[in-house]
Amino acid sequence: MTTETALSDCPAESSLASLSRVAAAMAATLEPNEVLARGVESLIEATGAVCGEAYLLTESGPELQVLHGCEGACPFKQQLAEMATRAAERGEPVRRRNLIALPITRKGRVHAVYGLSLPADAPAPDGCFLNAVCHLTTLALDHAELMQELERREAQRVRLLRKWLGAQEEERRRVGQALHDEVGGVLTGALLALRLAEKDPQRLEDVRTVLGRALDEVRRLSRELRPAALDDLGLGRALERHLREFERHTGIKTTAAINPPRLNQPAQAALFRIAQEALTNVARHSGAGKVAVRLEPDGEKLVLEISDDGHGFTPASGGDSLGLAGMRERAEQLDGEFSITSSPGAGCTVRVEVPLARVVD
């Protein structure tokens, strides 16, 4: 019995066909306002309405912005707009004779309203169908927003990759040049000194000095390539050493609470690079006098936090620029989360939380 009632409550087959046409029209665009315009267009078609409008609620106040208006001089324009305002306030459909206003709700608030003007002699519209169109619109808007976010992230990933590849190429060029000019030069000198020493063994001391210089140069190059000897010191001590150098170079006072467990190599490298970029940002952009770095377990997570007392900034809502995006990317590669909290005058905190199980050695 229950099944029969449920079945008879279903929209008629023609309504389902209309519904799938409405869905297809809305799914064909990723532009939220265009979703609403297509929604109302296909609603007009499906209901045989004389005209229809899509209104968007403004962020700031109760006014409605007309996204898709009736073409021509519609005698009900004013009345439809008033009903749309009422539907937006109540959060439920409003119907007056042949006019209908349907609110579209998203994340608990009315986001837009469809207004329809049906022919005076039209039969009562299928409420179930209209409800379904409103739900579909909400889904289509969520889908468009998600897809746009995905496209933005993808474009950012490509930019990041290009930047990294460029930086890698530049690093190779610099190291190649240094090997050629510095190490090559010093070793050539050593060769010459060796030839002289073959005739005059007293000059062997010169050879030793020159080879010592070559060794220093090779060590310097390898230090540049590998962050602060992570292999030798481990992340904790490498970070402490980096902080001491940071303080010496920038004059910004540092405090540290660094107690990481034994971490695997990829995690050490990623967390070091994140801290390095966050500190570079502090030095370049913050005007801070102090910076505090924390790296320690907290429950099931390992937390890395870099907080400065500088002038802060408003993180862009549209997405991260490349330095910030790089930090986020590294955190996500460790299945972690990245956040940046800052506002003008209130300093800046970069926080990364990664699951301990993912990073311990």
Ligand X SMILES: Nc1ncnc2c1ncn2[C@@H]1O[C@H](COP(=O)(O)OP(=O)(O)OP(=O)(O)O)[C@@H](O)[C@H]1O
Following DSSP, what letter does each residue of 272-339 receive, concatenated?
HHHHHHHHHHIIIII--SEEEEEEEEETTEEEEEEEE-S------TT---HHHHHHHHHHHHTT-EEE
Instruction: Tell me the residue type at 51.
Output: C
Q: Which span sits near ligand X by CB under 6 A: 13-21, 135-143, 172-180, 314-322? A: 314-322
CB nearer ligand X, residue 98 or residue 349 = 349
Residues 352 and 356: their CA atoms lie apart, in Å, by: 12
Rule CB under 6 A: which of 318-347 touch ligand X? 320-324
CB nearer ligand X, residue 265 or residue 321 = 321
Q: Are 65 and 84 in contact (CB under 8 A)?
A: no
Residue 104: count other Cβ atoms within 10 Å of its Cβ. 26
Rule CB under 5 A: which of 298-337 touch Mg ion? 323
Rule CB under 6 A: which of 238-297 touch ligand X? 281-282, 284-286
CB nearer ligand X, residue 54 or residue 350 = 350
CB nearer ligand X, residue 260 or residue 310 = 310
- Calculate ∠ Cα 135-145-321, nearest 5°: 165
**Taking CB positions, which residue lies at the least distance from ligand X?**
323
Residues 211 and 190: their CA atoms lie apart, in Å, by: 6
Instruction: Choose which of 348, 354, 356, 359 interacts with ligand X (CB under 6 A).
Output: 348
Closest contact distance (angstroms) between CB of 8 and ligand X is 59
Instruction: Choose which of 115, 227, 260, 312 interacts with ligand X (CB under 6 A).
Output: 312
Closest contact distance (angstroms) between CB of 240 and ligand X is 20
CB nearer ligand X, residue 30 or residue 322 = 322
Closest contact distance (angstroms) between CB of 327 and ligand X is 8
**Site size for Mg ion, by CB under 5 A?**
2
Closest to 106 in 3D by CA, of 57, 66, 48: 57
CB nearer ligand X, residue 179 or residue 322 = 322
Closest contact distance (angstroms) between CB of 241 and ligand X is 21
CB nearer Mg ion, residue 174 or residue 284 = 284
313 is a site residue for ligand X (CB under 6 A)? yes
CB nearer Mg ion, residue 301 or residue 330 = 330
Q: Report H helices in the chain.
A: 2-9, 13-27, 32-47, 77-90, 127-178, 184-199, 204-225, 230-250, 265-281, 322-333, 356-359
CA dihedral in degrees (281, 284, 285, 288; nearest 10)?
Answer: 90
281 is a site residue for Mg ion (CB under 5 A)? yes
CA 224 to chain centre: 30
Q: In 3-state terms, what secondary structure has residue 64?
A: strand
**Taking CB positions, which residue lies at the least distance from Mg ion?**
323
Q: Are 114 and 104 in contact (CB under 8 A)?
A: yes
Q: Which span sits near Mg ion by CB under 5 A: 170-178, 196-204, 221-229, 275-283? A: 275-283
Residues 254 and 186: their CA atoms lie apart, in Å, by: 38
Per CB under 5 A, residues contacting Mg ion are 281, 323
Per CB under 6 A, residues contacting ligand X are 281-282, 284-286, 308, 310, 312-313, 320-324, 348
